Structure 1
Amino acid sequence: MSEAIATEQSSRPRKRVVLAAALALVILAGGFAAYRAQGFLHSVTGFSNPFQEAQEAFRPAPGSIAWKLNHKEQVNLLLLGYGGAENDAPWLTDSMVVVSLDPASGRVMQVSIPRDLQVKIDAFANAPPVTEKVNAAYSVAMDTQGWSGQKSQFRTGKDRGGRLAEQTVTAVTGLKFDGYLAADFKAFRDVVDAMGGIEVCLDGPLDDYQYPDYHNGYVKGGIHFQKGCQHINGEQALQLARSRHAKQPAEASDFGRSRRQQLLLSAIRKQAMSVNALTKVPQLMDALQKDFSTDLDLNNLRALQAWTSKLRDNAIGHAAITVDDLVSDQCSSPAAYLVCPLDPSWRMMHQYFANLFVAPSVVTEKAPVQIANGSRSLAELGDRVSLSLKPLGLQVQPPQRVRSATATAVYDYSGGRYPETTRWLQQYFSATVVQPVAGQPSPTPQPPAGGLVVVLGHDYALRWLGQANA
């Protein structure tokens, strides 16, 4: 890792910035001069004649986002937040959010990728991939003074950073991305302010006495937010997004930061779609023009806006990859805080992202599901698997430890009441289904009444740790 990035990442707070909804509003809202709108669109998308593309919206190209939404195919976007000119490492993307849209079920999943995740960035023409934190991928392409020798596609053009970030996160998740959207601090603050602020509802209070100011120090007296719903301005939104030293343990965790960031995204989307926000178009264009970039064309942005404007709030799911589930910080060193996948092959991470959308027929069964750890390799495996499944809509019960098991099995204590959930668990865990026999000892001493129990065997532990054969 380069010394400048290692030093900066070890000391600089995280930033969480997401602006896709505001951009869509600016593009689609009426009432602004065409010449100014065309200049704005050229600035943020790079297209020379975006309005010509609007004329072709009725016949989207096969494979485009608009085409996929029409044909009920999944769409994947990568949202990036970087420090910008206000930061001494302006291109590090300390916010990386995978947003997957499932037109077939009308749902969205937002999954935060930890900025400290150690990856290989394959960017150079005559050199092997470099081992870096994932948040450096955008910077490797954009910072042409700090890095050299990049492949041609990562050396020039406004989308070079987005392309490299997409390639890097694809290796992590297994997802192919349909586009990226990137924004910096200033755009985040200015957009929230241009919309007159946003409404957020916090699960609990947040008090951070080590929140940084803009002079290499801390805000005097700290920052403070109460539990519940409240109207906040741009600077307050940025504080909620960046805070990483909250007094409350839940808010200082990776999951707490990711959850707040995703709450802000939802609040921005909701405000951007409101009638009142339509009057803010000129201010929104000013906020975004210099501090926002995307490779999505006008047709795809229009299609995204039309589709997302119909979403219900409960159709948007939230998840985060953290040290409590698929990654660990045991690879950290005194020089830098790092997290690494428990499965170095990334196969388990790929499986997780491939199953973000559990079929509605499974979710509506509301089957009680318990994970029981019968492996011999990882004492906390049951907890990790349970936490990873909760955001997917399953009714996950508290896990338990059971006696050692070689093979993973799904025990059906419901008498066949939940066939869809049973089949999903069987497929996800590559497990056999067992119907417990009355009068025989149960391998799971505390099963949920009339529910399903997945006993994780040694075979699954080996897969979770990347030690099983491919």
Structure 2
Amino acid sequence: MRRPTTPPSPLPADTAPPPRRRRRRRRIVALAAGVVVVGLVATGVVAVAQLQSNVRTAPIRASAGGSTEQPADEPATGAVNVLLLGSDARALASDEFGEDDGTQRSDAMVLAHISDDNSRIDAVQLPRDTLMDLPACEDTGRGSSRGGSGMLNSALNVGPACSVAAVEKLTGVRIDHFVQMDFEGFIGMVDAMGGIDVCLPEPLQDGHARLDLPAGQQSVDGAQALALARTRHALVEESDIARLGHQQMVLSAIVQKATKSDVLVRPDRLFAFLDAATRSMTVDPGLGALTDLAGLATRIAQVPLSDVTFLTMPWESAPQDRNRVVPAADASVVFQALRDDVPIELAADAPPSDETVPDAAVRSTPISVSNGAGVGGLAGRVADEARALGYTVQGLSNAERTETTVIVAGEDADAQATAASLVADLGGGIEIRTGTGAGVQLVLGADFPARAAEVHVPQRPVDAVSRSADTDLCAA
């Protein structure tokens, strides 16, 4: 079915070669692993042993009794999904960032997808203020959580395995690996590179973040780079979303400096870079050896910077708290693309379409989704898919357990048209009952999970803030 288009938002100009549609691909996991291949050769056996001793590991999945489930095999081939976590823990050598209270949250979260053929990397920033129904998480060495409504960043307090579980529930994307890093590690890596170059359209001052930078192109050290990536108070809109653009610029600058400078060929700088990275790094057991990191880095190195994209998860304000966010309909399209290992098409890059918007009556009636299947979170997942298909979802609820999925629609023509369209988009075979109330209610029965496996969010251009890793740092 034809679907309404989403108006594009202005994005930085891309310098990637024409003529194919520009796929802005981004590499962030290379912060720690991207130069390990060269490092294993250049630093020598003793240095490698020291670096290996730096690396800490933690479970990627937790289950009852503290046992862990790990990926069966190292995905040397095939698409790979890596969750990158920036921890705000204050258990650091310095008290510069405040007193350690024993807690930690993910100050930054990026889901990096490496394509099966190593032709592109999509790195999706997940806003830390995303509200969701967090899954229960068993003991991972930092305690356990019963889950419930909360912000995505809070899952890390119970360990990276709980962040993995939360991101998998939010996105439906299976996570193969995670890399967690703290403030001091980030600062140390940037300093080991001799700083990075950034470009600011206006001066930024933030006493909370200890940030004071003039406008224009300039070189910043590790502490300044961290402050730039974390600042909220220097921005007109003091929010987590507002600072994600600066994070994209900082990460692009790191990737550009690492690939274009002498970091890779000077043993002293290379060792300092790797030492800072590994000392502050916690990874899953699948990346616990430097050779594992090297294997991942080998794949990353094959991707041109023009095919590495920084992409912020499409979002909208949370209905229950306007200061928090939830995934927008376009987020379902992005996550489906990661699951299918296909390129994400950005609205700003899409050519003009001659498609017409369908009759407004087809999807004009708001729908509600009720879970009568007894499967936790099913209504929310179906609601996300419905939004991605262009429907307005006005409510979620639990219903009496039922075996069969039905749609109850009001008597008016618009409601009946919306119900018929919904049946078609869900694969057909769903009974439509005429009710006395207004609107359309989708009641999910026990038969729906098997049916849902057949439902596929169609690809279409999405509206999202993005930049390529090779974009000019002074581009707007």
Where on the TM-score scale, by shorter chain, does this alignment land: which range? 0.5 to 0.7
1:317 aligns with 2:298: no
Change (3 A) 1:38 1:339: same
1:290 aligns with 2:279: yes
Counterpart contact for 1:84–1:184, Cα < 8 Å: yes
Aligned to 2:155: 137
More contact order relative to length (CA 8 Å, sep ≥ 6): 2
Aligned to 2:218: 230
> How far, CA to CA, are the matches of 1:376 and 1:84 in structure 2?
47
> How far, CA to CA, are the matches of 1:177 and 1:340 in structure 2?
20
1:99 aligns with 2:112: yes
What are the ranges of 5 or more consecutive residues in structure 2 without an aligned counterpart? 1-27, 59-70, 91-96, 368-383, 390-413, 429-438, 445-450, 453-476
Aligned to 2:88: 83
3-state SS of 1:230 partner: strand
> How far, CA to CA, are the matches of 2:113 and 2:300 in structure 1?
12
What is the RMSD computed on CA atoms of the aligned residues?
Answer: 4.4
Change (3 A) 1:254 1:319: farther
The one-character-per-residue Cα deviations of 1:395-446 (angstroms, maximum 9, x if unpaired) are xxxxxxxxx7945999xxxxxxxxxxxxxxxxx97799xxxxxxxxxxxxxx
Counterpart contact for 1:26–1:285, Cα < 8 Å: yes
TM-score by length of 1: 0.58
Deviation at 1:274, TM superposition (A): 3.8
Aligned to 1:157: none
Aligned to 1:155: none
Alignment equivalent of 1:246, drawn from 228, 234, 238: 234
Counterpart contact for 1:44–1:294, Cα < 8 Å: yes
Counterpart contact for 1:198–1:233, Cα < 8 Å: yes
1:193 aligns with 2:191: yes
Counterpart contact for 1:408–1:431, Cα < 8 Å: no
Listed as ranges, the matches of 1:251-266 within 5 Å are 252=238, 254-266=240-252
1:115 aligns with 2:101: no
> How far, CA to CA, are the matches of 1:461 and 1:352 in structure 2?
24
3-state SS of 1:276 partner: coil
- How many residues are treated as equivalent by the alignment? 329
Change (3 A) 1:21 1:43: same
The one-character-per-residue Cα deviations of 1:189-247 (angstroms, maximum 9, x if unpaired) are 11101101122345x33534x4415xxxxx4xx633425x4332212211220111234
Counterpart contact for 1:78–1:166, Cα < 8 Å: yes
Aligned to 2:298: 306
The one-letter amino acid of 1:136's match is: S
Identity in percent: 25
Aligned to 2:334: 352
Aligned to 1:44: 55
Aligned to 1:167: 165
3-state SS of 1:98 partner: strand
Counterpart contact for 2:197–2:220, Cα < 8 Å: yes
Listed as ranges, the matches of 1:17-32 within 5 Å are 20-26=30-36, 28-29=38-39, 30-32=41-43
The one-character-per-residue Cα deviations of 1:42-62 (angstroms, maximum 9, x if unpaired) are 321559xxxxxxxxxxxxx98
Change (3 A) 1:300 1:263: farther
> How far, CA to CA, are the matches of 1:320 and 1:254 in structure 2?
11
3-state SS of 1:95 partner: strand
The one-character-per-residue Cα deviations of 1:349-408 (angstroms, maximum 9, x if unpaired) are 555302247856988983537895763449xx9xx979xxxxxxxxxxxxxxxxx79459
The one-letter amino acid of 1:40's match is: L
Q: Going by fraction, where is helix more abundant, 1 or 2?
A: 1
3-state SS of 1:273 partner: helix
Alignment equivalent of 2:177, drawn from 172, 175, 179: 179
The one-letter amino acid of 2:153's match is: N
Deviation at 1:255, TM superposition (A): 4.2
The one-character-per-residue Cα deviations of 1:255-303 (angstroms, maximum 9, x if unpaired) are 4422321332232223223451032123224423432111214343222
Alignment equivalent of 1:366, drawn from 351, 360, 364: 351
Aligned to 1:420: none
Counterpart contact for 1:117–1:340, Cα < 8 Å: yes
What are the ranges of 5 or more consecutive residues in structure 1 without an aligned counterpart? 1-17, 48-60, 141-160, 214-218, 387-403, 411-427, 433-457, 464-468
Deviation at 1:108, TM superposition (A): 1.1
1:64 aligns with 2:82: no
> How far, CA to CA, are the matches of 2:37 and 2:113 in structure 1?
21
